[in-house]
Amino acid sequence: MNRITSPELLRAEISGEREDKITNVFLWIMIAVVLVFILLRGFVFATVYVSGTSMYPTLNDGNYLVGDRLAARFGNYGYGSIVTVNTTEKESNGAYKKIIKRVIGLEGDVIDIRLGKVYRNGEEIDEPYLPRGVVTSPHTTPMPYTVKEGEIFVLGDNRGISHDSRYSDYSRIKTSQVYAVIPEWVIKHLDLVQKYYGANLPRNAELN
């Protein structure tokens, strides 16, 4: 056993032990955070990689997002919420294709699209997230359209290219298909999310 014969050496030894303990505690905290992240991913929140421009200019191709799965399960979303939705289409790996859109109508609502505008229950809706002058055109879903029980009506912000509830194959999206809700703070701090989380988020849900 080494003997410490100098007060300075004793202080240095104690200081080194404290630094080692602080380092070990920090490492254990980081390990715990990573483990919690892994356990909660897919149950409480979803990590999302956006592929496509159907939500431009709100979202861009290549954006990383964090989605709230509990909000989806309990229906904690409303008009204007951005949601990811499981479609009935299958990807090559067998998983259901996901899309990301904005909620425009809830069950019982009557949606109409005419003269380039969107109406809900007879009133033109305010869409501040769209650039000025955007025209919304109807497609294969007959208008006016009444949203069925247990379903939602969604549109992409990029109205010129978005494949959404204006098309008959996506007109009847069930609430049970909502996979995750994108929180407002993610949209408001999109640059921050890209900078600090983008490099580490797995691309487990590619959306259009």
Q: Which two tokens stand for residue 185?
A: 């703070």
Establish whether 188 is a catalytic residue: no
Phi, psi of 41 (to 5 degrees): -60, 125
Catalytic residue among 98, 101, 165, 171: 101
Catalytic residue among 6, 15, 21, 54: 54
Spell out the residues 6+ positions from residue 39 whose beta carbon is closer than 8 angstroms to its own: none
Establish whether 101 is a catalytic residue: yes
User: For residue 41, what is the DSSP state?
Assistant: B
Q: CA 136, 90, 65: angle at the middle one, nearest 5?
A: 60
Long-range CB contact pairs, 110-113, < 8 A, 24+: 110/144, 110/145, 110/146, 110/147, 111/143, 111/144, 111/145, 111/146, 111/147, 111/153, 111/165, 112/143, 112/144, 112/145, 113/137, 113/138, 113/143, 113/166
Strand partners, 102: 82, 155
Place of tokens 């592929």: 51
Active site residues: 54, 101
